[in-house]
């Protein structure tokens, strides 16, 4: 009887864990970022940055990010992309108001929105953190988190430190898709 009860409890725990994991991965709020070394899976955070997530999904569905360069990559800090001009000055032409939070922090795998000096100047450029950066907390919008494939982010070609991370012959995004559109 004890063995049967133990098996039943284990089965229920397994079902609960599978249900919880399935709920945590919402295909409508998951991105597949394809790089030359493999797939990076990003869980978007509409709970903390609903307007940014909405805009990112619009751009992804327009295939805006396909082929864009990682124009600024700083070792131990971050890899930045999303500029159609490839030099850090361009965007999609639509600014997004800041959605800063003190509840979430910039750490390894965090995906944040790049911006100019004005807090409401984010557009299409974003960055993925290589390490924590507390000086960004509450200053830049966090809209996602890498949940798989960080080793592919680590493999992105680094930029020149003396040129603020500018990359010669930079790596690029192969494709970027909303998981719900792929599955």
Task: Give the model confidence (pLDDT) of 108-160 as tens digits.
Answer: 999 999 999 999 999 999 999 999 999 999 999 999 999 999 999 999 999 99
C-alpha distances (whole Å) from 36 to each of 45, 108, 125, 170 are: 25, 21, 20, 12
Residue 147 makes CB contacts below 8 A (sequence gap 6+) with 25, 41, 42, 43, 109
- In this prediction the pTM is 0.86
- Cα separation, 43 vs 30, in Å, equals 5
**pLDDT at res. 46:** 98
Where residue 158 falls (left for φ over 0; alpha for ψ -120 to 50; beta otherwise) is beta
pLDDT digits (tens, 9 = 90+) for 3-20: 544 444 444 444 444 433
Going by pLDDT thresholds of 50, 70 and 90, the confidence category of residue 183 is low
**pLDDT at res. 151:** 98
Say whether pLDDT at 21 is over 70: no
Strand order through the sheet with 142-148: 72-74, 78-81, 126-129, 110-113, 142-148, 38-44, 30-35, 175-178
Alpha helices in 46-146 (DSSP H): 50-61
Average pLDDT on 43-51 reads: 98
Say whether pLDDT at 100 is over 90: yes
Dihedral, 62, 136, 73, 125 alpha carbons, nearest 10: 20
Read off the tokens for 69. Answer: 């360069």
Average pLDDT on 21-45 reads: 88
In the chain the domains, ranked by start, together with CATH numbers, are 28-182 (2.40.100.10)
Average pLDDT on 31-59 reads: 98
Cα 59–chain centre separation: 14
**pLDDT at res. 25:** 81
Read off the tokens for 176. Answer: 């970027």
Say whether pLDDT at 38 is over 90: yes
């Amino acid at each position: 009887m004890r063995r049967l009860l133990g098996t039943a409890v284990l089965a229920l725990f397994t079902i609960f864990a599978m249900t919880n994991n399935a709920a945590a991965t919402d295909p409508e709020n998951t991105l597949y970022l394809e790089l030359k070394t493999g797939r990076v899976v990003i869980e978007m955070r509409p709970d903390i940055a609903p307007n940014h997530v909405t805009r990112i999904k619009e751009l992804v569905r327009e295939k805006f990010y396909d082929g864009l360069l990682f124009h600024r990559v700083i070792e131990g800090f971050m890899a930045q992309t999303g500029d159609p001009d490839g030099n850090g000055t361009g965007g999609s032409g639509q600014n997004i108001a800041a959605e800063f939070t003190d509840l979430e922090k910039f750490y390894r795998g965090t995906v944040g929105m790049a911006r100019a000096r004005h807090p409401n100047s984010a557009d299409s450029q974003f960055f993925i953190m290589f390490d924590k950066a507390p000086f960004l907390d509450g200053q830049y919008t966090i809209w996602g988190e890498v949940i798989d494939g960080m080793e592919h982010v680590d493999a992105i070609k680094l930029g020149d430190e003396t040129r603020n991370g500018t990359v010669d012959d930079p790596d690029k995004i192969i494709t970027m898709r909303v998981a719900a559109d792929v599955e």
